A and B are shown apart, each in its own frame.
Chain A
Amino acid sequence: MPRFLFWNLNKKPVPHLVKEIARGNDVDVLVLAECEIPIGVMLTTLNAETPDFQFAPGQCERIQVYTRFHSAFLAPIFESDRYSIRRLRLPLRDEVLIVMAHLPSKMHFTGESQRTECSLLARAVLEQEATVGHSRTIVLGDFNTDPYEHGVVATDGLHAVMSKTVAQRKTRRVSGHDFDLFYNPMWSYFGDVGNRPGGTYYYEKAEHVNYFWHIFDQVLLRPSLLGGFSDDVKILTMAGGTSLLDRDGRPDRENASDHLPIMFNLDF
């Protein structure tokens, strides 16, 4: 069953950690955001033992993709400086559309502008689904927006819901218009029950309302893919023997990244 991993590296030169995670977890499709590791260095590190990984090129400079599959199986069809939309065409499997995104940060964009970015991404997804003629679509990446914010939830945004049962309705009618649904499994990963991290990103500020942990790094699935979804997204805290958390249990922004990686399996 193909395994996918997304990690925002926050421009940190940590190819050894990426390798530990990718090889240690048998990742098939490795998607990196804010990655400034030169492609040659990343490939040399990933393939130090055996030449398994290929770079899957694209024009979106915010996203880098490495894969154990032939890179031609992951050809981009539509990109911008924020996202890369690719067809994953594996032999003997149905084609899947993979949307990899890194949306603007709250430091640079207002909440309204972030919502607009989600709407633009959603529009691009719908357009490409129409182009390829199916909606077997995965969206993954760093949305810089939590699962409960309007950009992710609203009908004119990504329209992703916390309930698989609701998502399986496929569409929802509001004011006479039908809107396609995504399932967002990340809702189930808020809070530190079971000694897991409280999210994928930590932000603390002395203000009255503070959530501390956020889940900006998400995967969304169209209902047609739910049958092959293992229902088990992992927020990784280790890269081999190295912790990705600091002494306070927050993402180690000095030695790793300020984001934690997310990983999931999908059969299709």
Chain B
Amino acid sequence: MASAPDSSALEMDLWPKAKFETDLVTPVSILRRQAALLGEKTRQLVTADVSTDAERGAVTHYFRLVVPALDNYKYELFHMNHRVDELYPVTTYFENRIWKITDQSAFIEWLKSALSSESTLRKVDSLMAQAKG
């Protein structure tokens, strides 16, 4: 026999007891932080921005150097993508190579090596020199 409707159902919380993570650090927020730091280090001669688009279930983030003094010239240093519903793995594309990165600590290590690579530093130096005129 079906039980009678119970109005107390409206008071129930059916979500699991586990705390939801509200302080999750996403790959794009890590990128944005590094983008902001570049401008500080170059006295805003070369800055960086991060743009994002989402298509067919994947999110792509583009990390670009920007030179305000050169008509906002942009150089795309790398891009990366991950599924809309999962932060990891991320796939990064940098200098003709592709990396599949499975967690945050590996992503930070990868990002550190990309930002400190000889070619990245050479580009930033070259753009700074041009920005100074």
- A76, CB-defined interface residue at 8 Å: yes
Q: How far does the Cβ of A80 sit from chain B's closest Cβ, in whole Å?
A: 4
Residues in B neighbouring A80, C-beta threshold 8 A: 75-77
**Smallest beta-carbon distance B8→chain A, Å:** 46
Contact of B95 among A59, A78, A81 (CB under 8 A): A81
A interface majority secondary structure: mixed
Please report the C-alpha to C-alpha distance between residue A113 and residue B100 in the assembled complex, in whole angstroms: 14
**Residue total for B at the interface (Cβ-Cβ under 8 A):** 18
Say yes or no: A59 contacts B79, CB within 8 Å: no
7 cross-chain CB contacts under 8 A? A59-B126, A59-B127, A79-B73, A80-B77, A81-B95, A113-B98, A120-B79
CB distance from B19 to the nearest CB of A (A): 38
Answer whether residue B123 sits at the interface, using C-beta atoms and an 8 A cutoff.
yes
Contact with B along A126-162 (1 / 0, CB 8 A): 0000000000000000000000000000001000000
Residue on B nearest A60 in the bound complex, by CB: B75
Q: Is A108 an interface residue (CB 8 A)?
A: yes
* CA distance in complex: A75, B96 (Å): 24
Query: In the complex, what residue of chain B is closest to A62 when comparing beta carbons?
Result: B96
A78-104: CB near B (< 8 Å → 1, else 0) gives: 111100000000000000000000001
Residues of B within 8 A of A (CB): 53, 55, 70-77, 79, 95-96, 98, 119, 123, 126-127
* Residues of chain B contacted by A59 (CB below 8 angstroms): 75, 123, 126-127
| Nearest Cβ on chain A to B45's Cβ, whole angstroms | 15
Shortest beta-carbon distance, A8 to chain B, in Å? 15
Q: Which residue of B is nearest A128, CB measured?
A: B74
> Of B74, B77, B126, which is within 8 A of A78 by CB?
B74
For residue A11, CB closer than 8 A to chain B, the reply is: no
A96 to chain B, nearest CB (A): 17
| Interface 0/1 of A216-257, CB less than 8 Å to B | 000000000000000000000000000000000000000000
Docked pose: A61 CA to B73 CA in angstroms:
16
Note all chain B residues with C-beta closer than 8 A to A76.
Answer: 73
Top 4 closest pairs, chain A to chain B, by CB: A80-B76, A78-B74, A79-B75, A59-B75
Chain B residues positioned under 8 Å from A123 (CB to CB): 53
- Pick from A78, A108, A156 the residue with the most CB of B within 10 Å: A78
Binding site for B on A (CB under 8 A): 59, 61, 75-81, 104, 108, 113, 120, 123-124, 156
- A156 proximity list for chain B (CB < 8 A): 55
Q: How far is the CA of A156 from the CA of B58 in the complex (A)?
A: 14
Q: Which residue of B lies closest to A61 (CB)?
A: B119
> Considering residues B76, B96, B98, B119, which has the most beta carbons from chain A within 10 angstroms of its beta carbon?
B76
**Which chain A residues border B53 with CB–CB below 8 Å?**
123
How many Å from the CB of A112 to the closest CB on chain B? 12
Residues of B within 8 A of A120 (CB): 79
Q: Smallest CB–CB gap between A260 and chain B, Å?
A: 24
Residues of A within 8 A of B76 (CB): 78-80, 124
Minimum CB–CB distance from B95 to chain A (whole Å) comes to: 6
Residue of B72, B73, B75, B96 near A104 (CB, 8 A) is B96
Q: Which residues of A contact B70 (CB under 8 A)?
A: 75
Q: How far, in angstroms, from A62 to B97 measured CA to CA in the complex?
A: 15
Between B75, B123, B127, the greatest number of chain A beta carbons within 10 A of the residue's beta carbon is seen for B75
Q: How far is the CB of B94 from chain A (nearest CB, A)?
A: 8
Task: From B53, B74, B79, name the one whose CB has the most chain A CB atoms within 10 angstroms.
Answer: B74
C-alpha spacing A113/B93, complex, angstroms: 11
Q: Smallest CB-CB separation from A77: which chain B residue?
A: B73
Q: In whole angstroms, how far apart are the Cα atoms of A249 and B95 in the complex?
A: 34
